[in-house]
Amino acid sequence: MQQTYYDFRAVGSAYLLKNEELGLALKSQTEVETKHRKKSTLREYTEAIIVAALLALFIRAFVVQAFKIPSGSMKSTLLVGDHILVNKFVYGIRLPIWNTELVHLSNPKRGDIIVFQYPVDPSKDFIKRVVGIPGDTVRIQNKKVFVNDQPLEEPYAIHSDNRILPASISTRDNMAPITVPPGHLFVMGDNRDESHDSRFWKFVSFNDLRGKAFIIYWSWNRDGVMTWSPSLSYVRWNRIGKLLN
């Protein structure tokens, strides 16, 4: 009888030990699975961030890029504080670092509003309107622009200075005929008397093009006040979503 009692105790102890070992094994497995899930979640987040960053870089390099207007040279088409989007593939696809054209799609047209590297200082980006394309002859007479001896219709142009400067002083208002060479553009700001453009530093190379501006997505008036009036508010609500042409 006593032997049977000890046998039951031995069996019970073995059973408890087995359960304890099983519990430890399950706990260990659960900890491993939890760590694995944490690693999987961290990996998923990391991969998502990397993919998003690469996608953003791709879009910025080849599809669309945002720019802010810092000066009034394109007034009143573009105002200081306007934020615009530029179509980077409308003229072709270029490798951003080497600036090599992979695919040519089209050439800029007269009237296009373009962003380009400033020829005098490539570290800066300028925005102007295309006035002359390759082969065009451009001249200016008393502030009036002529392209191929035809007066240019330009309802967007404004003049803030009534004075007319002779060509001997400045090419702002009077400029002798000049022919645009192949692969280049003659550009001007819409605010004619307040723009530093091709009248002074000649042409923009196709190789320096960033793209074509097409929409204002935000407009901030740093001199504004807290009001809903579009002309006085910090945010120019009436300009948001405006297409550029």
Instruction: For residue 79, give every residue at least 6 positions away whose Cβ sits within 8 Å of its Cβ, in sequence order, or none.
Output: 69, 72, 219, 221, 236, 239
> Is there a catalytic annotation at residue 128?
yes
Question: 119 with 103: CB under 8 angstroms?
Answer: no
- Are 115 and 211 in contact, with CB atoms under 8 Å apart? yes
Active-site annotation holds for 73: yes
Six token digits for residue 6: 């000890």
Amino acid at 229: S
**97 is written with which tokens?**
């670092």
What is the 3-class SS of 161-222, one letter each residue?
CCCCCCCCCCCCCCEEEEECCCCEEEEECCEHHHCCCHHHHCCEEHHHEEEEEEEEEEEECC
Distance, CA of 149 to CA of 211 (rounded, Å): 28
Which strands make up the sheet holding 64-68, listed edge to edge? 64-68, 82-87, 209-219, 113-117, 125-132, 184-188, 204-205
- The residues facing 116 across adjacent strands are 126, 209
Q: Which of 75, 88, 128, 212 is catalytic?
A: 128
Catalytic residue among 28, 39, 71, 73: 73
List, by residue number, the catalytic residues: 73, 128
